C-alpha cells in the first residue's frame, strides 16, 4: 500500500509571507472571492458566532469583519500565519480573537459556534480520509451552519490545470471534487446542503457549499 500524498499543513514564516503577498497581489481574484463569500453568508445573522478556519494571514477575516460579523473568531494551524493575521487585524483596527487550531482535531467543544466558515482549505486535501475527518470536525463545532469552499473538477480552470499537468508533470497541489462528492461529506455528518455557489459556473473552479444542521 502506498502512503497518502502529503499536503502543506503548517507554513513556516517565509512560506506564510510568500502566500500572503501572492494573495494580496491578485486583487481581482480577491474581490471576486469576497463577493462569493458575501453571497454564501448573506442569510447568516451578523450577531451570531462565526469561526473563520483556517484564517491564514487574515485576508478573509478582515473582510468578514467588514461584512458586519461582530462575534468572529479566527483560527489557524500555523503560528506564522497567525502572526501575520494579528498584524493585519491590528492595522485594520480590528480586535478578533485568534486561536491555534488544527482542522483535523479542533480544540473546541461540540457546537461551540453558530456558524463555521472554511475558505480555501479542502482543495489542499489529497484524499477522502482527510476530507471526511475535517468535515466531521467542522460539523461537530457548528451549531447551525457550515460554509465551505472547494474546487469543482468540472470547471474550465480545473480542466486547464489538469491538461497542463500532462505536459508539465509536477506534484499535485490542488485537488478537486464534484458538487455531489463535496455534499456527501457533510450529509454524512447530519448537515443538509442548502446552496452551492460559484463565481462563474463552469469557468472558475472555486465554489462554496452552504449546509445546515438537520
Tell whether 8 is covered by a domain: no
Domain that holds residue 174: 13-213
CATH value at residue 198: 3.40.50.150
Tell whether 170 is covered by a domain: yes
Specify whether the CB–CB gap between 185 and 178 falls below 8 A: no
SS3 per residue for 129-150:
HHHHHHHHHHHHHEEEEEEEEE
Give the pLDDT confidence of 51-86 residue by residue, as tens digits.
Answer: 999 999 999 999 999 999 999 999 999 999 999 999
Give the pLDDT confidence of 36-49 residue by residue, as tens digits.
Answer: 999 999 999 999 99
pLDDT number for residue 3: 41
Tell whether 74 is covered by a domain: yes
How confident is the model over 12-24, as a mean pLDDT? 88
* Banded model confidence at residue 201, pLDDT cuts 50, 70, 90: confident
Cα 127 from Cα 56, distance rounded (Å) = 22
Tell whether 4 is covered by a domain: no
Structurally, the chain folds into a number of domains equal to 1
Tell whether 2 is covered by a domain: no
Q: What angle do CA 115, 120, 125 make, to 5 degrees?
A: 105
pLDDT at 91 over 90: yes
Tell whether 49 is covered by a domain: yes
Give the pLDDT confidence of 171-199 residue by residue, as tens digits.
Answer: 656 899 999 999 999 999 999 999 999 98
Tell whether 205 is covered by a domain: yes
Residue 54 preceded by cis peptide, ω within 30: yes
Tell whether 6 is covered by a domain: no
pTM across the whole model: 0.91
Phi, psi (deg, nearest 5) at residue 43: -95, 5
How confident is the model over 117-145, as a mean pLDDT? 97
Specify whether the CB–CB gap between 121 and 150 falls below 8 A: no
Cα 42 from Cα 30, distance rounded (Å) = 18
Considering the chain, what percentage of its residues have pLDDT values greater than 90?
A: 77
Give the pLDDT confidence of 139-167 residue by residue, as tens digits.
Answer: 999 999 999 999 998 876 665 665 555 55
Amino acid at each position: 500500500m502506498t502512503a497518502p500524498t502529503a499536503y502543506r499543513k503548517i507554513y513556516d514564516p517565509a512560506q506564510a509571507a510568500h502566500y500572503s503577498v501572492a494573495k494580496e497581489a491578485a486583487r481581482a481574484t480577491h474581490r471576486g472571492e469576497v463577493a462569493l463569500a458575501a453571497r454564501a453568508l448573506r442569510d447568516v445573522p451578523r450577531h451570531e458566532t462565526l469561526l473563520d478556519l483556517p484564517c491564514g494571514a487574515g485576508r478573509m477575516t478582515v473582510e468578514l469583519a467588514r461584512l458586519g460579523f461582530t462575534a468572529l473568531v479566527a483560527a489557524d494551524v500555523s503560528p506564522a500565519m497567525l502572526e501575520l493575521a494579528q498584524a493585519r487585524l491590528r492595522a485594520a483596527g480590528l480586535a478578533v480573537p485568534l486561536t491555534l487550531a488544527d482542522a483535523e482535531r479542533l480544540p473546541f467543544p461540540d457546537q461551540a459556534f453558530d456558524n463555521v466558515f472554511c475558505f480555501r482549505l479542502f482543495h489542499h486535501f489529497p484524499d477522502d480520509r482527510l476530507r471526511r475527518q475535517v468535515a466531521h470536525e467542522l460539523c461537530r463545532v457548528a451549531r447551525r451552519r457550515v460554509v465551505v469552499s472547494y474546487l469543482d473538477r468540472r470547471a474550465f480552470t480545473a480542466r486547464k490545470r489538469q491538461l497542463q499537468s500532462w505536459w508539465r508533470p509536477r506534484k499535485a497541489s490542488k485537488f478537486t471534487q464534484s458538487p455531489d462528492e463535496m455534499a456527501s461529506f457533510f450529509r454524512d455528518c447530519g448537515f443538509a446542503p442548502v446552496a452551492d455557489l460559484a463565481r462563474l459556473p463552469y469557468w472558475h473552479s472555486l465554489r462554496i457549499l452552504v449546509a445546515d444542521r438537520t
